[in-house]
Amino acid sequence: MVEGIFYLPENGYDNYEVEAVLNTINRELAHKYIITELMIRTLERDRQHTEAFKMKDVMDKLFEQAIRKAKDELLALKNEMGKIGLRKQDEKKLDDTVTVYYFVQRGISDELRYMNYALRNHTMKEIERLLNIK
């Protein structure tokens, strides 16, 4: 059993179907990696704007704690991806609305396309989760 995602019966699937399910799991890992990476970039960029805050030291600590937690999550994702031979190869903005991420898994390339506003929304939700904001 793959925790929380799919249940693969021992005799119920042929190789093609199992490979398709594993491909879905790898895409989910890649998606989490992209969003976590964007979350770190966003927090680091926003941290530079804390100079105007009256409670600058408190906000710096909050940002530092969130960035550290996000980097720990990214490291865990990198380790998990490394075990299956999955890595991010490149990232390209096609235009103002679409970004494409290229991943390689043991010599096989794949791409994930995202609308930029969808990336922003996913990143916002993950930052809210990270900071325990409801």
Q: What is the pLDDT of residues 77-123, one digit of tens each?
A: 999 999 999 999 999 999 899 999 999 888 888 889 999 999 999 99
Percent of the chain with pLDDT strictly greater than 90? 54
Q: In what order do the strands lie in the sheet with 86-93?
A: 86-93, 98-105, 108-115
Q: Which of 47-51, 69-73, 112-116, 119-123 comes out lowest in average pLDDT? A: 47-51
Greater confidence (33 vs 26) lies with: 33
Q: Which residues contact 31 (CB under 8 A, 6 or more apart)?
A: 112
C-beta separation of 47 from 39 below 8 A: no
- How far apart CA 76 and CA 72 sit, in angstroms, is 6
Considering the chain, what is the average pLDDT of its residues? Answer: 83
DSSP state string for 83-99: HTTEEEEEEEE-SSSEE
